[in-house]
């Protein structure tokens, strides 16, 4: 048998003490079996340079959805999406890990990396009306989802993994609406005010709130219409019980292509990272766009 490749673990230098302890546990487990190097990064450019140089190492990302988003952009730009990425979930949401059955325990996640079962996973190719292009690993939110992400970032130091659920409750009860035109497979499915618009590759968002049952092979598009303030608490409660799409105030479509248009600026939460675009975003499903190391029973060729 050939010797396993050495592992390179990349972690966010801004991680708190709990995350640093989890990184240490994962690295220790990996190092029991293969030579393992840990590098802490603080800037995207530094992260990209380390990935670029890791041609003879197994890349392992210790971080949350935002770190995975950056990793996906980097391997895509380098033309290395056929190289499977190992994942040690360390974020407050970890929705990508939840959607792909990757354990949230750092040592159990390290065991998945060591097993080395490569799986091809889908992505969303996102474009605006200009030259911008990026790949979405998990989900894109507009409206209430962006407000929730902003609140969660402020509350994360105090509430840790409870920041996203708490922010969802708060923004759902207090947030306003925006006018959007939503298109799925070239058909306009909504044109008017919305409390939120969600484009989903996996059921889980906001740290484990499952809005749909499954999203195999399509983009799930969920819109939430504005409701009276007195009805918002019930709407948020339905979302927290995984029943948002069963209410009278939400609708769902599926397709391989979608777009959203607004008059002015589009604030979006893309894989947990906040971004601003002008007027329109266009989404297209990219099947088997990149590869991860997945648990036993979910690997594909």
On whether residue 299 sits in a domain, the answer given is no
On whether residue 275 sits in a domain, the answer given is no
The per-residue pLDDT for range 29-58, each reduced to its tens digit, is 999 999 999 999 989 899 999 999 999 999
Q: CATH number for the domain including 263?
A: 2.60.200.40
Q: Which domain holds residue 110?
A: 7-123+289-293
Task: Clarify whether residues 197 and 222 are in a common domain.
Answer: yes
On whether residue 300 sits in a domain, the answer given is no
Above 90 in pLDDT, residue 293? yes
Residues in the chain: 301
The SS3 call for residue 140 is strand
What is the rounded CA–CA span in Å between residue 235 and residue 200? Answer: 19
Continuous H helices in the chain: 17-31, 44-53, 65-77, 95-99, 106-115, 144-159, 163-174, 229-240
Neighbouring C-beta atoms of residue 186, cutoff 10 Å: 9
Strands 178-184 and 257-270: antiparallel
Q: CATH number for the domain including 34?
A: 3.40.50.10330
Continuous H helices in 133-258: 144-159, 163-174, 229-240
Per-residue pLDDT at 202? 83
Decide: 262 and 235 in contact? Cβ < 8 Å. no
On whether residue 283 sits in a domain, the answer given is no
Q: In total, how many domains does the chain have?
A: 2
pTM surpassing 0.75? Answer: yes
Above 90 in pLDDT, residue 228? no
**Weakest-pLDDT range from 10-14, 21-25, 84-88:** 10-14
């Amino acid at each position: 048998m050939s010797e396993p490749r050495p592992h390179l673990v990349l972690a966010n230098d801004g991680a708190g003490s709990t995350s640093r302890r989890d990184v240490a546990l994962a690295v220790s487990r990996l190092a029991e079996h293969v030579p393992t190097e840990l590098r802490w990064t603080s800037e995207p450019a530094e992260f990209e340079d380390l990935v670029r140089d890791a041609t003879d190492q197994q890349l392992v990302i210790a971080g949350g959805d935002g770190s995975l988003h950056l990793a996906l952009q980097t391997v895509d730009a380098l033309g290395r999406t056929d190289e499977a990425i190992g994942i040690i979930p360390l974020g407050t949401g970890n929705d990508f890990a939840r959607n792909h059955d990757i354990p949230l325990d750092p040592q159990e996640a390290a065991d998945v990396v060591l097993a080395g079962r490569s799986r091809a996973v889908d992505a969303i190719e996102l474009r605006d009306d200009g030259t911008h292009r990026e790949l979405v690993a998990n989900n894109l939110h507009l409206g209430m989802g962006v407000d929730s992400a902003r609140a969660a970032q402020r509350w994360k130091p105090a509430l840790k993994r409870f920041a996203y659920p708490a922010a969802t409750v708060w923004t759902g009860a207090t947030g306003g609406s925006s006018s959007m035109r939503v298109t799925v497979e070239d058909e306009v499915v909504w044109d008017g005010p919305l409390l939120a618009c969600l484009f989903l590759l996996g059921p889980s968002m906001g740290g484990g709130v499952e809005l749909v049952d499954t999203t195999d092979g399509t983009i799930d598009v969920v819109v939430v219409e504005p409701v009276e303030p007195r009805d918002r608490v019930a709407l948020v409660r339905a979302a927290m019980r995984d029943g948002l799409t069963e209410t009278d105030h939400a609708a769902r479509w599926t397709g391989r292509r979608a777009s959203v248009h607004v008059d002015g600026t589009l604030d979006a939460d893309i894989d947990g990272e906040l971004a601003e675009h002008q007027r329109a975003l266009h989404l297209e499903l990219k099947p088997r766009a990149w590869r991860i190391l997945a648990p036993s029973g979910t690997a594909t060729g």
